[in-house]
């Protein structure tokens, strides 16, 4: 027979999988769980603590314990390629290249990339998949002066991020995030409806010699989120 704390864990997981408990929902207190399952508070606490450690639940001190948001989360503080990010979670990565071509910089693109209007740029658009589900549409302009062999690469095998870091190592970046509704082409590629909100990241990357690329990264909102952990310990020490 399973230990009682394992039975409590299984019951809570079943509620989550069946949709009775949704991401963000608060579960019962340890006292309530102990009463519900006829166990000691210590046993209920162990079940909850293990689910917190496994990332299924999240505890907020003084508030309660909640079902975790299970969408993949990308950091806003570091630049990590989508391929590396997905594989770091132990998931399968794949992509589909939509376009890989040469274009001419328009007035806006020339300003963002610090090139002359009409200058030649490299363009790539591809969809990134996590466990066969589309999670990002990447549209990127690249400065040929800093990555001259960009279009000759097989990006079904090598990630764009890996290649650009090899030929023009990243020194800085600026980016912005906004909520948008996808255009029909983007919605089709991401297998979503045009009424479904998306997160759109606009990112410009630099190397020591100049601006390398300008990328637009579109994520289905219900499949992705952004966040990071901040540690203020050193800052607090410096201010004391």
Task: For residue 217, give the CATH number of its domain.
Answer: 3.40.1410.10
- 8 within a domain of the structure (yes/no): yes
**Chain CA centroid to CA 223, Å:** 9
**Taking 90 as the threshold, does the pLDDT of residue 149 lie above it?**
yes
Mean pLDDT of the chain: 87
- 232 within a domain of the structure (yes/no): no
Domain that holds residue 84: 73-226
Whether pTM exceeds 0.75: no
The answer on 141 and 57 residing in a single domain is no
- 193 within a domain of the structure (yes/no): yes
**Taking 50 as the threshold, does the pLDDT of residue 237 lie above it?**
no
Sheet strands (E) in the chain: 57-60, 64-67, 73-74, 93-104, 120-130, 133-142, 172-180, 198-207, 210-220, 225-226
The answer on 98 and 54 residing in a single domain is no
**In the chain, alpha helices (H):** 4-17, 30-37, 41-53, 82-88, 107-113, 160-167, 184-190, 233-239
Mark residue 118 as left, alpha or beta (left: phi above 0; alpha: psi -120 to 50; beta: remaining): left
How far apart, in whole angstroms, are the C-alpha atoms of residue 186 and residue 192?
9
Strand partners, 142: 122, 213
- 234 within a domain of the structure (yes/no): no
The answer on 78 and 179 residing in a single domain is yes
The answer on 98 and 56 residing in a single domain is no
- % of the chain exceeding 90 in pLDDT: 55
Q: The domain spanning residue 42 has which CATH number?
A: 1.10.10.10
- 240 within a domain of the structure (yes/no): no
- 239 within a domain of the structure (yes/no): no
Number of structural domains, the chain? 2
């Amino acid at each position: 027979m399973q230990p009682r704390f394992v039975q409590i864990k299984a019951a809570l997981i079943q509620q989550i999988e069946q949709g009775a408990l949704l991401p963000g929902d608060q579960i019962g207190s340890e006292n309530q769980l102990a009463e519900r399952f006829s166990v000691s508070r210590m046993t209920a606490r162990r079940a909850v603590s293990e689910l917190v450690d496994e990332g299924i639940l999240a505890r907020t001190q003084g508030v309660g314990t909640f079902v975790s948001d299970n969408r993949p989360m990308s950091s806003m503080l570091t630049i990590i390629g989508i391929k590396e990010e997905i594989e770091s979670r132990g998931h399968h990565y794949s992509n589909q290249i939509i376009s890989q071509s040469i274009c001419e910089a328009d007035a806006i693109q020339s300003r963002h990339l610090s090139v002359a209007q009409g200058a030649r740029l490299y363009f790539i658009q591809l969809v990134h998949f996590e466990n066969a589900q589309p999670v990002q549409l990447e549209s990127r302009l690249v400065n040929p002066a800093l990555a001259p062999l960009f279009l000759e690469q097989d990006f079904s095998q090598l990630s764009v991020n890996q290649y650009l870091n090899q030929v023009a190592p990243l020194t800085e970046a600026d980016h912005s995030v906004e909520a948008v509704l996808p255009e029909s082409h983007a919605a089709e590629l991401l297998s979503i409806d045009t009424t479904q909100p998306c997160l759109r990241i606009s990112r410009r990357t630099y190397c020591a010699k100049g601006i390398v690329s300008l990328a637009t990264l579109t994520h289905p909102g219900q499949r992705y989120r952004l966040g990071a952990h901040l540690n203020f310990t050193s800052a607090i020490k410096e201010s004391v």
